[in-house]
Amino acid sequence: MNRCPCPASTGAPASAPSTAAAVVPTELLKRGQRLLEPDVYRTCLHGRAAVVKDYTRYRHTPLSLVARLLVRREARMLQRLGGWRHAPALLGTLGGLALGMEFIPGDTLSDSASYVGREVFDQLQAALNKLHSAGITHNDLHGTNVLVSAGVPVLIDFTAAWQAPRWLRNSLIARQLRRGDRANLLKLRQRLTGLAPTPEQARLAAEPAWIRRLRQAWKQCYRSLKGGR
């Protein structure tokens, strides 16, 4: 990956430009193609290597409000996680339709399979437990949403993340979202390292029987409807 043409960072917090137009992309990382999928590029914000998620192509469209809400939600989540080494630092929002965050050097977990071992997954499990204890679920945990930087797993893409209010943290939906995070992590670990989950891990990630039956019934109904067309 090309180096960002920035002067060395001082490590001090940087305020972001007020508009996305003030930012010049230096490397496109991903072109948004699906609905409400942002362009993602690497750039510099006030001398700091940064990654920007840019929704500005939705400006002056009916989806502009939704895009602004997505930027605001993720910015608030990163702000809550400020100073935590398992999430990138928030650098600011840009014109309401773009989000700037710290650039994390490293490879995605999917691309690190040849050298990532149990210790990285142990750290990731501890990080996930920390999130869950604060009522936060990531809700999109897969191999490309985890970076491995100097042996430390860093969670990225908090667009779908949710922090349950205290009175909802033991609700059905909160428990199900936590189970989903755990199940995704166990699948990743088994696929990339060959390590099977322990009985306790499998128990915590397992869906209740009634949810499995409901899911199976929906799949059968969907297949029947699709086959009847």
What are the structural domains, with CATH classification, of the chain? Answer: 20-102 (3.30.200.20), 107-216 (1.10.510.10)
pLDDT grade, residue 5 (50/70/90)?
low
Query: What distance in Å separates the CA atoms of residue 141 and residue 144, rounded to the nearest whole number?
Result: 8
What's the pTM? 0.83
Among the residue ranges 16-20, 36-40, 69-73, 215-219, the one predicted with the least confidence is 16-20
How many Cβ atoms sit within 10 Å of the Cβ of residue 10? Answer: 10
Rounded Cα distance, 67 and 64, in Å: 5
The answer to whether 114 and 193 are in contact (CB under 8 A) is: no
pLDDT tens by residue, 126-146: 999 999 999 999 999 999 999
| Segment holding 153, helix H or strand E | strand 152-155
Round to whole Å and give the CA distance between 91 and 102.
Answer: 6
| Beta-bridge partners for 107 | 148
Amino acid code (one letter) for 86: H
Residue 9 has pLDDT above 60, yes or no: no
Q: Are 152 and 119 in contact (CB under 8 A)?
A: no
What confidence tens digit (pLDDT) does each residue in 149-193 have? 999 999 999 999 999 999 999 999 999 999 999 999 999 999 999
